[in-house]
Amino acid sequence: MTDTLVIVESPAKAKTIAKYLGSKYKVIASNGHVRDLPKSQLGVDVENGFEPKYITLRGRGEVLEKIKKEAKQAKKVLLATDPDREGEAISWHLANALKIDPNMNCRVVFNEITKSVLQASIKTARPIDIKLVDAQQARRVLDRLVGYKISPLLWAKVRKGLSAGRVQSVATRIICDREQEINDFIPDEYWTITAFLHVPNARKPIEAKFYGYNGHKTDVKNEQEAMLVIEKSKEEPFVLSDLKKNEKTRHAPAPFTTSSMLQEASRKLGLTPKMTMSLAQQLYEGVEIGSKGSVALITYIRTDSVRVSSEAQGMALDFIKDTYGDKYVPAKPNIYKGRSNAQDAHEAIRPTNLLLAPAMVKEHLKSGLYRLYKLIYDRFLASQMASALYETTQLTFTAGECTYRASGIRTIFDGYTKLYVESNDDEEEKEGLLPELEIGRRLNAKEIKPVQHFTQPPSRYTEASLVKTLEEKGIGRPSTYSPTISTIIDRGYVCREKKQLIPTELGFVVTQLMKDNFSSIVDVKFTADMEEKLDEVEEGNKEWRSIIGDFYGPFEHSVEEAFKNVEHVKIADEVSDVQCDKCGAMMVYKIGKFGKFLACPNYPTCKNTKRIVDKIGVKCPQCGAEIIKLHTKKGRAFYGCERHPDCDFVSWQKPVGENCPKCGKYMVQKLGKNGSYKQCSDTQGCGFVMRPAGKQKNNDEE
């Protein structure tokens, strides 16, 4: 007989928790949901209060039977699934299956998996929060109604295999609208004029940019105006007429929320949201750290709060003082204000133990886990450090009636940037010193250089910027950002090219159909308002069935009208220049789960398909054929020979078509802190490095 059975969601989490709780507890995993709506039918009784029809998920029957068996042998059962709506719903379903009264103190929640927190959580077990369950049910039913009512319309009118959804359809629309902005954009011409001013004994000239005439801002719109500025400036001495120095404070960035973690991991580490969430989940649930066993390295990962517990903050401040010194500790602890609609149930994402520094655990972690852990660790520690202080200088020069300005910035105190530089900081002004000059100093221009520019259209969304936009507009929640992006890519509505998200023709067609027939579904404000209503259910201020009822009547009418009025849409496939080697037809481009591929247009008579060969212009070092870029099923890029399987050459790094001058093996391109460089493919035996500047070093830059 077991004293207490603890049920969690994942085996990894179960292993970590079991280590802390001792022999009186048995910890098992449900492997996520055990019950859900059936896939084969709507599963919602729209005639009777939208009652969900839950079934045991296929393949989970054995898991559920094992849990029931263990529960019968336990004196007490505690449900310790994740501390969010989804986790609360899983506990509610488990309680139902195990015939546990949800009003008993059977629910255990914790933000981090550490011994002290676990023990405290078990002592404060509570009933299942039915308000959280209702909020999850409302979302689940709402999404099921939208998906299962509109998807058949898309199948009938556009193409089989398509889907629609509350959040995914809005996300697709946002990307399509941005692409339309880009297509409609008309560039405007403008010019910049830079004077290179010679200063005796200075290492380089001052670069002063034309500001305007007689101190008034003037835009230079064409070449004629640019030449006029140069004509008025070229014979004049550049006299320093004004000098301004100021101090600028840059505050440390807040600790990570789910959204900011996804954005920064994309920008700094090149990780997709899906990859980031997968790695973060492992770090939260526990990873093997040598003799320490399974250790949870970070706190709960689905949060939009920037709050940090006073205990964690105190430990961070002590750590900063001991490691970096008193001056890196802020005069008052840093407090961050979250977004107005942020849920504050959980802390920000942070390391569970600052003594487990990234360098200490590096040997036990795979590369991706280490890099993400270091990012989270450094970000949290930096968020508790003192601000950085800079001195800014602005020089104003007068050349006749022309005004030029030059700016510089100098670090007075590095503060948090000693440890961490945010991506946005990287994009701000680069540090540059200006020579000390006195008012009235006269300088001569070595060169006055005009450069033509054109205004640029708005940038396409990347996964990082889309996550930021979804968060800002209140669309979705931390748990939905990653799956939403994965879905719209998998459905072929959007494709990812060099980090950019580009809508396909299919994406445009489906979005237009949704705009014409389900305007509210793809309306940003409507979707954001619905998220707020779901939050109100969680807070106990709204009844979930009434929200669904208010939505469903007009929605059902729209579906009926769309089936009557929408005509079949034919999307022509893009024809390639590749001939089908089975029937001779010109193959067409199709989009599948793993991206574009070639298919015979005579399907189903001819079912021939081919992968798209992405040649990199480098010969195979083994056989001399072309090297091509390939992708694993998980989307990771690698390089192989086009003659595979006859030639087994493969490389995770991109070959550059050069041989190592030291050992003769092929060189590959790698990415370091200061950009790309070349390295011998034999990193262990040789490791020869060739940097762009020609400075060579026989060790790995990374």
Q: What is the pLDDT of residues 143-184, one digit of tens each?
A: 999 999 999 999 999 988 888 999 999 999 999 999 999 999
**CATH code of domain 189-251+388-454:** 2.70.20.10
Q: Please give the Cα distance from 285 to 280 (Å, whole number).
A: 9
Query: Contact at 8 Å (CB) between 52 and 44?
Result: yes
In a 3-state reduction of DSSP, which class is residue 344? coil
Query: Contact at 8 Å (CB) between 415 and 381?
Result: no
Which CATH class, in words, describes the domain spanning 137-184+459-565? Answer: mainly alpha
Q: Please give the Cα distance from 567 to 195 (Å, whole number).
A: 62
29-to-2, 119, 121 alpha-carbon distances in Å: 16, 19, 18
Q: Please give the Cα distance from 300 to 239 (Å, whole number).
A: 59
Query: Contact at 8 Å (CB) between 255 and 336?
Result: yes
30-to-62, 64, 85, 228, 683 alpha-carbon distances in Å: 10, 7, 16, 75, 43
Q: What is the CA radius of gyration of the chain?
A: 30
CA 622 to chain centre: 38
Q: Please give the Cα distance from 312 to 422 (Å, whole number).
A: 22
Q: Please give the Cα distance from 504 to 615 (Å, whole number).
A: 23
Give Cβ neighbours of residue 684 (< 8 Å, ≥ 6 apart).
Answer: none
Kind of pairing, strands 216-217 and 442-454? unpaired
The residue ranking higher by pLDDT, 140 or 593, is: 140
**Helices (DSSP H) in 158-233: which residue ranges?**
166-184, 223-233
Q: Please give the Cα distance from 43 to 52 (Å, whole number).
A: 6
Q: Please give the Cα distance from 504 to 324 (Å, whole number).
A: 51
- Residue 168 region by backbone torsions, left for phi larger than 0, else alpha for psi between -120 and 50, else beta: alpha
Q: Which of 571, 586, 580, 579 is nearest to 607 (CA)?
A: 580
The confidence score (pLDDT) of residue 423 equals 73
The residue ranking higher by pLDDT, 630 or 361, is: 361
Q: What is the pLDDT of residues 632-666, one digit of tens each?
A: 765 677 899 988 878 889 998 899 999 998 888 99
Q: Please give the Cα distance from 702 to 650 (Å, whole number).
A: 22
Bridge partners, residue 454, by sequence = 189
Query: Contact at 8 Å (CB) between 197 and 239?
Result: no
Catalytic residue among 300, 370, 404, 552: 300
Give Cβ neighbours of residue 260 (< 8 Å, ≥ 6 apart).
Answer: 253, 254
Structure tokens given for 427:
């994009």
Q: pLDDT at residue 673 above 80?
A: no
The confidence score (pLDDT) of residue 546 equals 95
Q: With the C-alpha atoms ordered 528, 530, 534, 537, is the resulting torsion angle positive or negative?
A: positive
Phi and psi dihedrals of 616, rounded to 5? -105, 5
Q: pLDDT at residue 425 above 70?
A: no
The confidence score (pLDDT) of residue 432 equals 75
Give Cβ neighbours of residue 525 (< 8 Å, ≥ 6 apart).
Answer: none
For the chain, the domains span 2-128, 137-184+459-565, 189-251+388-454, 258-383, 573-612
The identity of residue 521, as a single letter, is I
Q: Please give the Cα distance from 345 to 124 (Å, whole number).
A: 16
The confidence score (pLDDT) of residue 341 equals 61
Given pLDDT bands bounded at 50, 70 and 90, which one contains residue 589?
Answer: confident
Given pLDDT bands bounded at 50, 70 and 90, which one contains residue 590?
Answer: confident
Given pLDDT bands bounded at 50, 70 and 90, which one contains residue 424?
Answer: low
Active site annotation includes 589? no
Q: What is the mean pLDDT of the chain?
A: 91
The identity of residue 365, as a single letter, is L
Q: Which of 217, 221, 362 is nearest to 297 (CA)?
A: 362
Structure tokens given for 204:
């380089």
Q: Please give the Cα distance from 654 to 662 (Å, whole number).
A: 19
Phi and psi dihedrals of 416, rounded to 5? -60, -25
Q: Please give the Cα distance from 297 to 108 (Å, whole number).
A: 20
**Helices (DSSP H) in 234-291: which residue ranges?**
258-264, 273-285
Query: Contact at 8 Å (CB) between 320 and 385?
Result: yes
Beta strands in 40-150 (DSSP E): 44-45, 51-52, 55-56, 74-79
**Helices (DSSP H) in 300-398: which residue ranges?**
310-324, 358-361, 367-383
Query: By percentage, how much of the chain surpasses pLDDT 70?
Result: 95
The confidence score (pLDDT) of residue 629 equals 87
Query: By percentage, how much of the chain surpasses pLDDT 90?
Result: 79
The confidence score (pLDDT) of residue 592 equals 64
Least confidently predicted of 407-416, 492-501, 517-526, 534-543: 492-501
Q: pLDDT at residue 508 above 50?
A: yes
CA 326 to chain centre: 35
Residue length of the chain: 702
Query: Contact at 8 Å (CB) between 197 and 206?
Result: yes
Count of C-beta atoms within a 10 Å radius of residue 523: 17
Q: pLDDT at residue 100 above 70?
A: yes
Q: Which of 242, 162, 91, 29 is nearest to 569 (CA)?
A: 162
Least confidently predicted of 155-159, 372-376, 422-426: 422-426
Phi and psi dihedrals of 45, rounded to 5? -85, 90
Structure tokens given for 586:
């010109």
What is the pTM for the complete model shown?
Answer: 0.83
Fold of the 258-383 domain: Topoisomerase I; domain 4 (1.10.290)
Given pLDDT bands bounded at 50, 70 and 90, which one contains residue 284?
Answer: very high
In a 3-state reduction of DSSP, which class is residue 366? coil
Structure tokens given for 91:
């506990």
Q: With the C-alpha atoms ordered 512, 514, 516, 519, is the resulting torsion angle positive or negative?
A: negative
Q: Please give the Cα distance from 303 to 255 (Å, whole number).
A: 11
How confident is the model over 431-436, as a mean pLDDT? Answer: 82
Query: Contact at 8 Å (CB) between 399 and 233?
Result: yes
In CATH terms, is domain 2-128 a member of 3.40.50.140?
yes
Q: pLDDT at residue 447 above 50?
A: yes
Query: Contact at 8 Å (CB) between 32 and 93?
Result: no
Least confidently predicted of 167-171, 463-467, 689-693: 689-693
Given pLDDT bands bounded at 50, 70 and 90, which one contains residue 583?
Answer: very high
Given pLDDT bands bounded at 50, 70 and 90, which one contains residue 2?
Answer: confident
Query: Contact at 8 Å (CB) between 128 and 85?
Result: no
Task: Give the angle subtended at the CA of 259 by the CAs of 255 and 260, to the nearest 5°.
Answer: 40
